[in-house]
Amino acid sequence: MRISECRAVLTGASGGIGLPLAEQLCAAGAKVLAVSRRQDDLAELLRRYPQQLRWQSADLRDSAGRHAIVEAARDMGGINLLINAAGVNRFALLEQIDEEQLDDLLELNINATLQLTRVLLPLLREQTHALVVNVGSTYGSIGYPGYATYCASKFALRGFSEALRRELADTSVDVLYVAPRATRTSMNSAAATALNLALKVGMDDPQDVARAVLAAVEKNLSELYLGWPEKLFVRLNGMLPGLVDRALRKQLPLIRRYSDANAKESNR
């Protein structure tokens, strides 16, 4: 799929890897419906690309918000690319997350994504070729302590992507699942960033992740895993989970220390 020929709906467009995705899509000539709750972070791009970029305010958790996106997509003349990049992350042990926070994470990371994809599929299927891109995580393949709820949502997103790809195999719509490793975005708390530094975990620049995602779109890939040695850990976890269990158990004291610090900071 040529980026210059894309008419895209992009969720989570005002931050994380969504903002550089919006910028790079527009720079390559695509037309983009940027979905977010806030417009401020998109203001400069809207000035630079007035003919290509349109902002749509929507709460993805709300049915009315999702249907507003469908109507805006119709007004664009239809879409051939959906990038589900919206999501939240919480670094905390399961018992440190309250009921409202847990529900909110699952509602946005799983339910909102599935529901938006469902209501946009009829528009996507009208195209000669269309693509759904679901932005997951390495933690969609490796259960990591301190991220149990986030892992649950990304494991679900990976399963959804695989099943939807097979469900649409005889249609014009393809599905790409993207699994970035740790990325330098505001989604990470200070404690999560400190833990990554303490463990010497590699962190990617969101601009680089966005470039890799769009390269995968152009190549029509079905999966994209980013980062080394994270790719190796994903394979090891699938073949030798006990080995990964033992490795991560050694990290538990450090993970607990930083998650406790994160909980104290959040409760101030």
Angle between helices 206-219 and 18-27 (to 10 degrees): 50
The CA distance from 185 to 176, in Å, is: 22
How far is C-alpha 166 from the geometric centre of its chain's CA atoms? 20
Give the residue carrying structure tokens 């997509």: 73
What pLDDT is attached to residue 186? 79
* pLDDT confidence band for 267 (50 / 70 / 90): low
Which helix or strand (DSSP H or E) is residue 163 part of?
A: helix 148-167
Catalytic residues: 150
Q: Answer whether residue 191 shows pLDDT above 90.
A: no
Residue 187 pLDDT > 80, yes or no?
no
d(CA 268, CA 259): 15
For the chain, what is the radius of gyration of the CA atoms? 18
Residue boundaries of the structural domains of the chain: 3-266
Does the 3-266 domain belong in CATH 3.40.50.720? yes
The answer to whether the CB of 190 falls within 8 A of the CB of 265 is yes
pLDDT of residue 159: 98
- Termini Cα distance of the chain: 48
Residues 167 and 58: their CA atoms lie apart, in Å, by 28
CA dist., res. 84 & res. 113, Å (int): 6
| Runs of H (alpha helix) within 28-82 | 43-48, 63-75
Please give the pLDDT value at position 268.
64
Is the pLDDT assigned to residue 266 strictly greater than 80?
Answer: no
